[in-house]
């Protein structure tokens, strides 16, 4: 909520996540999993002449206990409301900064401290990040800490969690400050066409952030190392070779430092592009499940999803800047004087930019989700073909269902889901299995 830049990068990084699953710590510190962790193929999903994809899907879904479904529905539906609350709380904060002259005051302080324009921008940005972080702190604590703990997704106590928040704030100040200086430099130099050049600077900056993220940003929060377990890496690297991927390494990340969720992702691009599995997945996932997830991640890689996302976000960013130019002119003509904002080249305009940006992205929620979800579906299909593990993939979908609603209505899925729903993922796996039954004929008890 605090940084559109960070949010954009996050959106880009997250959109190639396979997803997560949770593990709830039980009494005595031993993890008590909500969903069955060992791969059990229900009789309806075993190969037979009567194999039916729908019946197999229903049989998999029937393995999920009712209380687990209720819990994950509650968690996921709570997330719908948080989208609204994040938006509303952000809007109120930005309006307060404008209406009560705080933004103009922060600008005045920056001007008193230095005459050098780019430094003024950096100082303003730092003030802005700190003030908005403090004002949104209660909601941030609820969303990122209290709620995550309540649903058994968090592994951190408050101290380390707070430490991560402060690190995140620092990253936002440094990276965002650099971006803000670039952007205001552009706006001041080309006051008529700033929105076009601003779009270009934004997309270049986005590319730069995605490029450095796996190497310089992720390690600030987590330990990342090449995975060194032949039992896991040999089948994965074999799959990579079969699919023409020149990889000799897979990375592992200690995500269990923050969360119990399982995940894997493709990050970076060019020389920094890599596939990373988190330790929760490696510890809890069956071999079949890990292979099905690797197939999915290889799909992102081979289908160039990161580059396609750039193209998508380029369109979003250019449209956003065009709307921004128009709406900034309009609102500054109406309230600029009252808010003591001198124009688009004045850093005091920041809260207004964030307000307009948050309206834009709030309205765009279903469009962005649908773009991301469509790529995820493609990766699912690729992964099934590459790994040939439909039952492993069904198991993965069930694990993800621990915190993500399994069976939403179609409209719900369209608006809120950035991955296909669990039900649809299992059905796709069983449909694939129905068309490839001969692969399983020799091992009826797979
Ligand atoms: Zn994915």
pLDDT, tens digit (0-9, with 9 covering 90-100), for 87-143: 999 999 999 999 999 999 999 999 999 999 999 999 999 999 999 999 999 999 999
Distance, in Å, from the CA atom of 107 to the CA atom of 101, rounded to the nearest integer, reads 10
Task: Answer whether residue 416 shows pLDDT above 70.
Answer: yes
Distance, in Å, from the CA atom of 11 to the CA atom of 219, rounded to the nearest integer, reads 19
Task: Answer whether residue 304 shows pLDDT above 60.
Answer: yes
Which element (helix H / strand E) includes 24? strand 24-25
266 CA distance to ligand 1 centroid (A)? 8
Task: Answer whether residue 58 shows pLDDT above 90.
Answer: yes
Residues with CB under 5 A from ligand 1 (ion): 18, 376, 379
17 CA distance to ligand 1 centroid (A)? 4
301 CA distance to ligand 1 centroid (A)? 10
Give the confidence band of 271 by pLDDT, cuts at 50, 70, 90.
confident
Distance, in Å, from the CA atom of 82 to the CA atom of 73, rounded to the nearest integer, reads 14
Q: Are strands 274-278 and 251-253 parallel, antiparallel or unpaired?
A: parallel
What pLDDT score does 352 carry? 98
Q: What is the mean pLDDT of residues 276-290?
A: 91
252 CA distance to ligand 1 centroid (A)? 17
Task: Answer whether residue 29 shows pLDDT above 70.
Answer: no
Give the confidence band of 34 by pLDDT, cuts at 50, 70, 90.
low
Q: Which residues pair with 24 in a beta bridge?
A: 32
pLDDT tens per residue, range 154-189: 999 999 999 999 999 999 999 999 999 999 999 999
379 CA distance to ligand 1 centroid (A)? 6
Radius of gyration of the chain (CA): 24
Q: Where are the beta strands (DSSP E) in 37-180?
A: none
Give the confidence band of 446 by pLDDT, cuts at 50, 70, 90.
very low
What pLDDT score does 13 carry? 33
317 CA distance to ligand 1 centroid (A)? 23
Report the Cα–Cα distance between both ends of the chain, in Å, rounded: 47
Task: Answer whether residue 22 shows pLDDT above 90.
Answer: no
319 CA distance to ligand 1 centroid (A)? 26
296 CA distance to ligand 1 centroid (A)? 6
Residue with tokens 């890599």: 274
139 CA distance to ligand 1 centroid (A)? 28
What pLDDT score does 442 carry? 57
- 100 φ, ψ to 5°? -95, 15
Task: Answer whether residue 25 shows pLDDT above 60.
Answer: no
80 CA distance to ligand 1 centroid (A)? 21
Distance, in Å, from the CA atom of 206 to the CA atom of 445, rounded to the nearest integer, reads 48
Residues contacting 186, CB < 8 A, separation 6+? 194, 197, 198, 201
196 CA distance to ligand 1 centroid (A)? 31
What pLDDT score does 37 carry? 58
pLDDT tens per residue, range 206-255: 999 999 999 999 999 999 999 988 988 899 889 999 998 888 889 999 99
343 CA distance to ligand 1 centroid (A)? 42
């Amino acid at each position: 909520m605090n940084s559109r830049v960070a949010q954009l990068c996050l959106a880009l990084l997250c959109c190639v996540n396979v997803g997560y699953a949770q593990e709830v710590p039980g009494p005595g510190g031993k993890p008590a999993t909500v969903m069955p962790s060992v791969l059990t193929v229900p009789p309806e999903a075993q190969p037979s002449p009567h194999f039916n994809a729908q019946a197999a899907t229903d049989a998999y879904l029937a393995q999920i206990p009712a209380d687990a479904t209720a819990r994950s529905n509650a968690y996921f539906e709570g997330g719908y409301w948080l989208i609204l609350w994040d938006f509303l709380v952000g809007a109120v904060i930005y309006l307060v900064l404008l209406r009560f002259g705080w933004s103009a005051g922060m600008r005045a302080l920056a001007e008193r401290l230095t005459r050098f324009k780019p430094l003024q921008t950096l100082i303003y940005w730092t003030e802005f990040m700190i003030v908005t972080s403090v004002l949104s702190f209660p909601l941030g604590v609820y969303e990122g800490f209290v709620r995550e703990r309540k649903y058994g997704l968090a592994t951190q106590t408050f101290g380390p969690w707070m430490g991560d928040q402060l690190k995140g704030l620092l990253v936002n100040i440094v990276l965002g400050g650099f971006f803000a200086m670039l952007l205001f430099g552009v706006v001041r130099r080309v006051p008529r066409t700033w929105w076009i050049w601003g779009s270009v600077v934004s997309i270049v900056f986005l590319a730069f952030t995605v490029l450095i993220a796996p190497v310089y940003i992720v390690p600030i929060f987590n330990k990342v190392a090449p995975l060194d377990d032949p039992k896991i890496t040999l089948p994965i690297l074999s799959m990579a070779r079969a699919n023409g991927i020149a990889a000799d390494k897979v990375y592992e990340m200690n995500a269990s430092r923050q969360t119990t969720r399982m995940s894997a992702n493709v990050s970076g691009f060019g020389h920094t592009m890599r596939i990373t599995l988190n330790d929760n997945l490696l510890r809890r996932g069956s071999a079949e499940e890990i292979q099905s997830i690797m197939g999915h991640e290889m799909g992102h890689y081979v289908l160039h999803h990161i580059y396609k996302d750039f193209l998508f976000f380029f369109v979003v960013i250019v449209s956003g800047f065009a709307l921004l130019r128009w709406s900034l002119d309009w609102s500054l003509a109406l309230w600029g004087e009252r808010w003591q904002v001198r124009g688009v080249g004045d850093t005091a305009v920041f809260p207004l930019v964030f307000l307009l940006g948050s309206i834009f992205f709030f309205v765009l929620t279903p469009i962005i989700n649908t773009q991301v979800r469509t790529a995820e579906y493609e990766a699912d299909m690729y992964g099934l073909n590459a790994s040939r593990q439909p039952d492993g993939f069904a198991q993965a979908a069930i694990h993800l269902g621990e915190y993500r609603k399994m069976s939403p209505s179609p409209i719900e899925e369209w608006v809120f889901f950035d991955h296909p729903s669990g039900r649809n993922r299992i059905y796709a796996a069983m449909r694939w299995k129905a068309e490839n039954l001969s692969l399983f004929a020799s091992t009826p008890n797979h």
